[in-house]
Amino acid sequence: MVVNALDPKPIRTIVFDLDDTLRYNEPHAHAFISDFVETLRGRPLTQLERRAGQRWEHQYWASSKELTADITAYKEGTQEFWVNYGIRSLRSLGFEDTEAQQHAAQVHEYMRENYSPVSHVLPETRQTLATLRQRGYRIGLLTNRPKPVHAEMNTIALDLHMDFFLAASQLGAYKPDKQIFLRMLDFLGASKDSVLYVGDNYYADILGARGAGLQCLLLNWSGLYEDPDCDQISAITDLLTLLPGPTAG
């Protein structure tokens, strides 16, 4: 599905989110934990329950008040932090508070011992980036990662298709704070209307980019968001239909 409200004429630069936009974990962390949760629950999770949990996950990691409170209460990355995260995650999947607290440590231990994802980039992603670049667009990356991603971009060979890649830590702000986008524009020497931002997380990517005045597209590849109040695409290849080139027309 393509919402064709985008104005492609002023766009000269296309900037992408990284995780779940250009690269994916196989298996996906949310699917992996949801499958395990079903064994605790004794019944399959419904699609609605799984999607509600994943939307909560998107909102939580988008610099939410809950995340800020948890980082204050527990050092991020510690066992205490992840057990508390497990409680919140189980609640989002429909567990009562008592049940969530009972199983959270077990969920954390299961993930720690068994989750070993492989980073995966779809062939159509590489081809789309290459084609957009051939059409004359400047292609870049803006991720909420706390460290630069140059080495990883080289490892997954996405650096071949990009002109720049920026991590939030390098700009001193995190999505959805509009400052990260405004500082990116300063770095690029670009105007707001000349940059399109594409990401999969409505709360971090769309609210952040829109708050900074950029055109933006939600890559709603799994149908996670129903009727979002923004322009959206269902596959990265949809960009080839929407963006003929900076000088086309």
pLDDT tens digit sequence for 207-225: 999 999 999 999 999 999 9
Kindly report the pTM of this predicted structure: 0.95
Q: CA–CA separation, 190 vs 59, rounded Å? A: 29
- Sketch the domain layout of the chain as residue ranges: 13-25+120-242, 29-114
Q: In the CATH scheme, what is the homologous superfamily, with its name and number, of domain 13-25+120-242?
A: HAD superfamily/HAD-like (3.40.50.1000)
pLDDT tens digit sequence for 111-142: 999 999 999 999 999 999 999 999 999 999 99
pLDDT tens digit sequence for 20-70: 999 999 999 999 999 999 999 999 999 999 999 999 999 999 999 999 999
What HEC string does the chain produce?
Answer: CCCCCCCCCCCCEEEECCECCCEEEECCHHHHHHHHHHHHHCCCCCHHHHHHHHHHHHHHHCCCHHHHHHHHHCCCCCHHHHHHHHHHHHHHCCCCHHHHHHHHHHHHHHHHHHCCCEEECCHHHHHHHHHHHHCCCEEEEEECCCCCCHHHHHHCCCHHHCCEEEEHHHHCCCCCCHHHHHHHHHHHCCCHHHEEEEECCHHHHHHHHHHCCCEEEEECCCCCCCCCCCCEECCHHHHHHHCCCCCCC
Average pLDDT in the chain = 95
**Banded pLDDT at 76 (limits 50, 70, 90):** confident
Q: Which two tokens stand for residue 55?
A: 């939307």
Q: What is the pLDDT of residue 248?
A: 59
pLDDT at 2 over 50: no
pLDDT at 15 over 90: yes
